Amino acid sequence: MIDRVKQKINELLSGGSVKGVVALANANGHVAPCLFQKGDDLQHLSLGDRETSGDARYPLNKVLTTIARQYPDEVFGVLVRGCDERGLHILFRLNQLAADKVVPIGISCPETLALQCECKKPWPDEMTAGEKSQGVAQKRVEAAEGLDLKERFSFWTEQFSKCIKCYGCRDICPMCFCKECSLECEDLVSKGDLPVDIPVFHLTRAMHMADRCIDCGLCEEACPADIPLRLLYKKTSKIMNTEFGFTSGMNKNEISPLSMMGPAPKK
């Protein structure tokens, strides 16, 4: 698969159709986000699989956003998995990136990763390499829904109490880009103290991400308190799906129901 990706990156760079490609590279015994430009050695290219598949994934769309902000007229390639492609759809719609300035290089995820992510669609529509594996059912959410209200309440209260307010869930998130972050709004969340306001801090973020979270799971992996954040956001996204038939990023041109006024559209 990696050879196919290298070939594609080479084509893009040498053909001059992109200024650079945002992907991953092996360096210093680790894997890091990297911008490949014309003439760079692709030997160090990595797809983010080290010991297990996808264990060295990074928010490449976020990296791309940082670079594109500085170079708005250039075109860039970016390595995307299914979730990242969903992310691009939303970033285009919310004007964080320009669709005509981005060339996605899509790769599919293997079954192991799809199972671990409980991913609905572990492949991008525009696929450069790999084969589609099955979408996976949301068992974690179902299990959590199986708890009675009291158990659920104490489960989440206990989980949230571990939070050390690192803001890592926000800082790693490829879909977080607000200039004024609602987590820093003192009318919602008080600052300067630990533990954070429970459950306001975490639910504020869950609400805020309801039509944006593309379920990449990076937040949960970055949480030093091991809070099952992805589960929380999966549940939020399930509500969006049942109530509005909306799954964020799944459909390229779909507009978020939360950005429309008036009653919910008929199912």
Partner 1 sequence: MDYRNTLTTCTYCGCGCNFFLESLDGRLTGTIPCKTSPVNEGKLCIKGWNVHQFVQSEKRLTKPLMRKNGELVEVSWDEALDFAASGLKAVKEGTGPDAVGFLASAKVTNEENYLMQKFARAGVGTNNIDHCARL
Partner 2 sequence: MSELEDADTIFIIGSNTATSHPLVATRIFRAIEKGARVLVADPRKNQIAAFAHLYVRHRPGTDVALLNGMMKVILDQGLEDKAFIADNTEEFEGFKNLIHAVSLDEVSGITGVSVEDIQTLAETYAKADKASIVYCMGITQHTNGVNNVKSLANLAMLTGNIGKYATGVNPLRGQNNVQGACDMGGLPNVYTGYQPVTLGAANKKFAEAWGVSELPSKIGLTIPEMLHGIEKGEVKALWIMGENPVVSDPDANHVVKALEKLELLIVQDIFLTPTARLAHLVLPGVSFAEKDGTFSNTERRVTRVRKAVAPVGDSRQDWQIIQDISSRFGYKMEYDSPETIFKEIASLTPSYGGMTYERLEGPGLQWPCPSPEHPGTPFLHKDGKFTRGKGLFHAIGYKPPAELTDEEYPFCMTTGRVYAHYHTGTMTRNSKSLDFEVPEGFLEMNPADAEALDLCDGHRVRMASRRGEIETRIMITERVEKGVVFMPFHFEESNVNKLTNPAYDPIAKIPEFKVCAVKLEKVS
Contacting residues toward partner 2, per CB under 8 A? 28-30, 158, 161-162, 164-167, 184, 191-195, 224-226
Contact 73, 17 (CB under 8 A): no
- 81 contacts ligand SF4 (rule: CB under 6 A): yes
Tell me the site size for partner 1, rule CB under 8 A. Answer: 33
139 touches, from partner 1, ligand SF4, partner 2, none (C-beta below 5 to 8 Å by class): none
List the x/- string, 106-125, binding to ligand SF4 by CB under 6 A: ---x---xx--x-x--x---
Measured CA distances, 49 to 57, 217, 240, 251 (Å): 7, 15, 31, 27
Stretch that binds ligand SF4, among 1-9, 64-72, 96-104, 224-232 (CB under 6 A): 224-232
Count Cβ neighbours within 10 Å for each residue of 165-196 and write b for 16 or more, e otherwise: bebbbbebbbbbbeeebebeeeeebeeeeeeb
Among 82, 106, 130, 249, binds ligand SF4 (CB under 6 A): 82
34: phi then psi, degrees, rounded to nearest 5:
-150, 145
For residue 203, count other CB atoms closer than 10 A to its CB: 16
Contact partner at residue 66 from ligand SF4, partner 1, partner 2, none, CB < 5 to 8 Å by partner kind: partner 1
Residue 145 binds partner 1, judged by CB under 8 A? no
Binding partner selected for residue 117 from partner 1, ligand SF4, partner 2, none, CB under the kind-specific 5 to 8 Å limit: ligand SF4
Q: Which is nearer to partner 2, 135 or 228 (CB)?
A: 228
Among 83, 141, 144, 210, which residue interacts with ligand SF4 (rule: CB under 6 A)? 83
Round to the nearest angstrom and report the end-to-end CA distance of the chain. Answer: 40
Q: Where are the alpha helices (DSSP H) in the chain?
A: 2-14, 60-70, 82-93, 111-117, 139-146, 149-161, 168-171, 200-208, 218-222, 229-244
Crossing angle for the helix pair 229-244 and 139-146, to the nearest 10 degrees: 90
Binding positions for partner 1, rule: CB under 8 A:
19-20, 27-28, 30-35, 37, 50, 55-58, 63, 66-67, 70-71, 74, 164-168, 171-172, 221-224
Binding site residues, ligand SF4, CB under 6 A: 54, 81-83, 109, 113-114, 117, 119, 122, 163-169, 172-175, 209, 213-219, 222-225, 227, 229-230, 233
